[in-house]
């Protein structure tokens, strides 16, 4: 299960990467369905740098198959 600290970080980083004006992370999908980030058993936070700016993407563990779902993102033009 996620710790309260991980849930807080998911909330903070989700606002930046799923609704951001500079980059956007694609919602994670695996096993034919969208993954709810708050109901997974584990997440990893992946730091990236784009044009000198640092962002943290969210990489969840699929609750069905147990595979890590690699974050996909794009730069908003």
Per-residue pLDDT, 4: 94
Whole-number percent of the chain with pLDDT over 90 = 95
- The vertex-37 CA angle with 59 and 28, nearest 5°, equals 55
Local structure of residue 42 (DSSP, 8 states): -
- Expressed as residue numbers, the domain containing 61 is 4-75
Q: What is the tens place of the pLDDT at every residue in 18-27?
A: 998 999 999 9
**Per-residue confidence band for 77, with pLDDT thresholds at 50, 70 and 90:** confident
Q: What is the tens place of the pLDDT at every residue in 31-56?
A: 999 999 999 999 999 999 999 999 99
pTM above 0.75, yes or no: yes
Task: Count how many domains the chain has.
Answer: 1
């Amino acid at each position: 299960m996620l710790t309260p600290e991980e849930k807080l970080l998911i909330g903070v980083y989700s606002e930046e990467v799923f609704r951001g004006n500079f980059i956007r992370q694609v919602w994670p999908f695996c096993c034919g369905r969208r993954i709810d980030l708050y109901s997974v058993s584990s997440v990893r936070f992946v730091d990236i740098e784009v044009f000198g700016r640092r962002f943290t993407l969210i990489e969840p563990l699929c609750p069905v198959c147990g595979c890590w779902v690699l974050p996909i993102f794009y730069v908003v033009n």
